[in-house]
Structure 1
Amino acid sequence: DAKFKSIPDAEQLENSINMIPGVIENGIFPGKRISKVFIGEGKRVKIL
């Protein structure tokens, strides 16, 4: 688990992550047993 102080715009973060070469094809953590990444606070949760 990882926790950050604040992510003001989860959608912008998702777009930025998806622009990293290979992320769309291989996922954020290729070769690792991670199926989902949750970003959010309270009721505002984004699933990558």
Structure 2
Amino acid sequence: MLAEAHYWGPIAQFELPDFGGGESKIQIGYLAGFGETEADGHFQLKLELEY
């Protein structure tokens, strides 16, 4: 049976200054696994651009 991975942790989100008429955001955080994925913590970096 395949178990689903579950993660939790703090994430900070920042809105970057507008450039070229678009909007941009960045998220950074650390997600720790729990249960069967306990040893699988990871850093997350997400960049979102809207035009």
TM-score tier (shorter): under 0.3
The structure whose Rg is larger is 2
**Greater strand share, structure number:** 2
| TM-score, with structure 1 as normaliser | 0.24
| TM-score, with structure 2 as normaliser | 0.23
